[in-house]
Amino acid sequence: MRFLWLGKFQSDAPDWTHPARELGEYELMIVDHGTLYIADHSQTHTVHKGEYLIMPPTTLQHGTKPSSCGFHWLHFETSDPIPCPLTGTVTNTELILAMLNTMLQLEQHQHSSATTYLLQALLEELGYENNTITTPPHRPLRERIDEYLKYHQNTPHMVRTLADYFGYHEKYFSTLFYKENGIHLKHYLMEQTMEKGKALLLNTDLPIHEIAAACGFRDAHNFSRAIRTAYHMTPTKLRQTFSQK
């Protein structure tokens, strides 16, 4: 499987129709506004908001009806079986959008292997959501949290936010995590934040106040205090001592 490119389209008028063209690779379209009316040489599709469509390579892709709609599109090549139905529903919209946004950022920096990895993960997620891949029973809470953190790297890691995302009461969510892992969720999230801060200190030239903001701290002072608590030295000393640049 190989990722090619992606983007987002929003029609400017209610009478927009998808143009006719040859499609030389697979295209995934995830509709987030209105309805998309599209067809190939053998089948006509109506894709509503919250649904997706994967069209295989075809000699003729074309619109069948005017509409006002918006959708993310993603082109890829593969000779392997696709791990999700070619049509289906997006249930975990926030996760799918986070993955698409991450892929867009990676594409801009030409990280092709990372975007292909995320493409595979995105298609597998659609497979989970549409019951063609069976989610492992009792999937560990820590595994699900780590997956969330992976795709929400630029947001503060707060227990309340995660509890809301996974549909739990905050206190019960923390208790579940502690029973599974023997560490309080608040402390685990701080450990992950400190690891992120350390990585940014050692592998980038970003100023400390920008790293603090990227880690969800309101100011550099609180970030510096947290770094001193975790690593027993200031951010500047940590960078000078262990920098890999």
| Domains of the chain by start residue, with CATH | 2-129 (2.60.120.280), 138-245 (1.10.10.60)
* Per-residue tokens: 12: 């400017």
pTM above 0.85, yes or no: no
Q: What is the pLDDT of residues 193-232, one digit of tens each?
A: 999 999 999 999 899 999 998 888 889 999 999 999 999 9
> How many residues are there in the chain?
245
CA distances from 159 to 95, 111, 153, 189, 222 (A): 18, 31, 15, 8, 18
pLDDT digits (tens, 9 = 90+) for 156-176: 788 988 887 776 778 888 988
Of all residues in the chain, what percent are helix, strand and coil, respectively (each to 5)?
Answer: 45, 25, 30
pLDDT by residue (tens digit) across 60-96?
A: 999 999 999 999 999 999 998 898 999 999 998 888 8
Q: Is the pLDDT of residue 185 over 90?
A: yes
Per-residue pLDDT averaged across 125-153, rounded? 76
Distances, alpha carbon 112 to alpha carbons 76, 96, 122, in Å: 12, 19, 15
Q: Using the structure block, give the residue that is written with the tokens 């069209």.
A: 55
From 37, 38, 45, select the one nearest 61 (Cα to Cα): 38
